[in-house]
Structure 1
């Protein structure tokens, strides 16, 4: 299993959670092709809206890929993004990224540059820290 971070606004992440899909990097297929069924994804929401709204800096959702099928959907005229189906962890409460001590991800002050990629891997250590921080908050 590979552990991923998807950087998505909270508004868009809520749509994905309600619909059971994940769409990353403005709908590009390439990042999704690197994933496999069972891979775990934490959705990091830097802001409420895409480039606007309240600053959040929170890991808001956790999900896993259901299968390896990538498909496209016409979301708007001229915009046909690629998606994969995921199952969301309905019990995941979310956490402010800086509230999780010991993350390798945020150890570098330049970690925000990595987040600009929009979709990237994290270590199993960081994934476990995010899951255990969530369990402790319940």
Structure 2
């Protein structure tokens, strides 16, 4: 069983919308943030919940869209914790056990995702930042990320992108 395979019967599943550069920081540090560093949404997560990451852009403010799923993990703590990055910057975080996966474009998955009810406006759910998704939708996302890990031409969340 991989680290990103939740085991509780009441497991919940989440997608966190974050630029790829911030996802990479989280993967390297074993954490996630949401809501511009506030703890409000992070408090909804429980140890063992599955979490996937969608990156609309490679970097905040980048002109070119990325629109890839970029990471997959399991919440590994019981409460949000606060870190002091610099004076005046103390974001809340959650520990995440990340799985080794490769980034994949989201567009081919849209017809399989039940939370995307309008393919013309498919990006609207992701504007919520951190949001819950049904188990079946999480399975589609996790499967695509895991399947891509075996592709030679795919790129990992370490900064490269799958070309499809």
What's the TM-score, normalizing by structure 2? Answer: 0.78
Task: Look up the match of 1:113.
Answer: 124
Deviations 1:55-94 (A, max 9, x none): 111110001111212111112321111001110002x112
- Say if 1:95 and 1:134, in contact at 8 Å, map to a contact too: yes
Task: Look up the match of 1:71.
Answer: 81
Q: Which runs of 5+ in 1 are unaligned?
A: none
- How many residue pairs were aligned? 137
Task: Look up the match of 1:131.
Answer: 142
Distance of 2:95 and 2:71 partners within structure 1: 15
Distance of 1:69 and 1:23 partners within structure 2: 12
- Say if 1:105 and 1:111, in contact at 8 Å, map to a contact too: no
What's the TM-score, normalizing by structure 1? Answer: 0.91
The one of 17, 27, 48 aligned to 1:17: 27
Deviations 1:102-125 (A, max 9, x none): 111333233422211111011111
The one of 93, 105, 110 aligned to 1:96: 105
Greater share of residues in strand: 1
- Say if 2:50 and 2:73, in contact at 8 Å, map to a contact too: yes
Alignment of 1:36-55 (within 5 A): 36-55=46-65
RMSD: 1.5
Distance of 2:126 and 2:115 partners within structure 1: 10
